[in-house]
Amino acid sequence: MKVLTNSNESLLTVEGLRKSYGDVAILDGINFEVNRGEFVCIVGPSGSGKTTLLRSIAGLQAPTSGRTVFEGQEVTEPPAKLAVVFQDYSRSLLPWMSVAENVALPLKGTGSRADIGGRVERALVSVGLSGKGKLYPWQMSGGMQQRAAIARGLAYNPDVLLMDEPFAAVDAQTRVELEDLVLRLRDEYNTTVLFVTHDIDEAVYLADRVLVLSGAPTSVTENIVTELPNPRNQLETKRLERFGEVRERVFTLIQSAKSHASI
């Protein structure tokens, strides 16, 4: 299938990525590219190594073999222009720091106090937390904490935002709001997003492309272009025939991966 992207410029390339723990193989030769401006979602059955893959791409752990190339450089440690938003916001935000201080963490040494303060405020406004900077994480709802975690990821204008099931721990209504928020922020910050999720509807709604993983040891089963119009709407987009077609295909692939894993 021909891949339709927002740019012909490859920003992130994953080449033959493998990861094993002892004799247990988790990732088995992962290959794909992400072009500048794309929103790519990764889905797969439970235990397929989605988080391991994202951590390897981000330089947070070394692969057993293979490599990730980001902006022409092999990733051996977390790159400066790549940000990660994790699922567990309660652990990623430091409870003894205010929200503004948490958002400012990656900006230390990057400019004057006034410049950093302006970037923090812009990020907080962008995620709907204007005026909340003096609060502490424990004074906020789960959805607000995850907004703060997203703001921290955006504060230094990353070229790629990696998101590891970031909405899994919030309620359904908040999840819908955050999905639309991250679509808007992708455009506002002109960033590229690689988004891991276990939710098929979420993946199809958000993505320009969906990468479907097999069961462990994991490889990419299929690379699906969603071909959905932008901007997207929770009701109208999900009523489209194309949305249903892509959802059915992803569901079928994941169910097949599960059945093979259980043999």
Looking at residue 213, its pLDDT comes to 95
106 or 262, which is more confident: 106
Does residue 147 sit within a domain?
Answer: yes
Q: Which CATH number goes with the domain that contains 197?
A: 3.40.50.300
**Rg, C-alpha atoms of the chain:** 18
Pair (151, 162) in one structural domain: no
Pair (45, 166) in one structural domain: yes
Task: Give the SS3 label for residue 91.
Answer: helix
> Tens digits of per-residue pLDDT, 48-104?
889 999 999 999 999 999 999 999 999 999 998 999 998 887 778 999 999 999 999
Q: Select from 157, 175, 207 the last residue of a domain.
A: 157
Q: pLDDT band at residue 2, thresholds of 50, 70 and 90?
A: very low
Pair (146, 245) in one structural domain: no
Does residue 244 sit within a domain?
Answer: yes
Long-range contacts of 235-242, Cβ-Cβ distance < 8 Å, separation of 24 or more: 237/205, 238/201, 238/205
H/E stretch holding 46? none
Can you give the residue range of the structural domain that contains 133? 93-157
Kind of pairing, strands 192-196 and 39-43? parallel
Angle at the Cα of 70 from the Cα atoms of 184 and 147, rounded to 5 degrees = 30
> Looking at the 3D structure of the chain, how many domains does it have?
2
CA nearest to 207, candidates 249, 263, 156: 249
The alpha carbon of 152 is separated from its chain's Cα centroid by a whole number of angstroms, namely 14
Angle at the Cα of 97 from the Cα atoms of 92 and 103, rounded to 5 degrees = 60
Pair (77, 194) in one structural domain: yes
Does residue 227 sit within a domain?
Answer: yes
Angle at the Cα of 227 from the Cα atoms of 215 and 27, rounded to 5 degrees = 20
Residue 132 has pLDDT above 50, yes or no: yes
Q: Name residue 135's amino acid.
A: L
Residue 205 has pLDDT above 60, yes or no: yes
Q: pLDDT band at residue 134, thresholds of 50, 70 and 90?
A: very high
Sign of the torsion angle spanned by Cα atoms 6, 226, 172, 89: negative
Pair (171, 255) in one structural domain: yes
Does residue 184 sit within a domain?
Answer: yes
| Inter-CA distances, 47 with 30, 185, 198, Å | 15, 30, 10
pTM assigned to the model: 0.92
Kind of pairing, strands 160-164 and 82-85? parallel
218 or 108, which is more confident: 218
Pair (140, 162) in one structural domain: no
Q: pLDDT band at residue 3, thresholds of 50, 70 and 90?
A: very low
Does residue 208 sit within a domain?
Answer: yes
Q: Select from 157, 186, 206 the last residue of a domain.
A: 157
Query: What's the mean pLDDT in 9-22?
Result: 94
Pair (68, 176) in one structural domain: yes
Pair (63, 123) in one structural domain: no
Pair (52, 174) in one structural domain: yes
Pair (152, 102) in one structural domain: yes
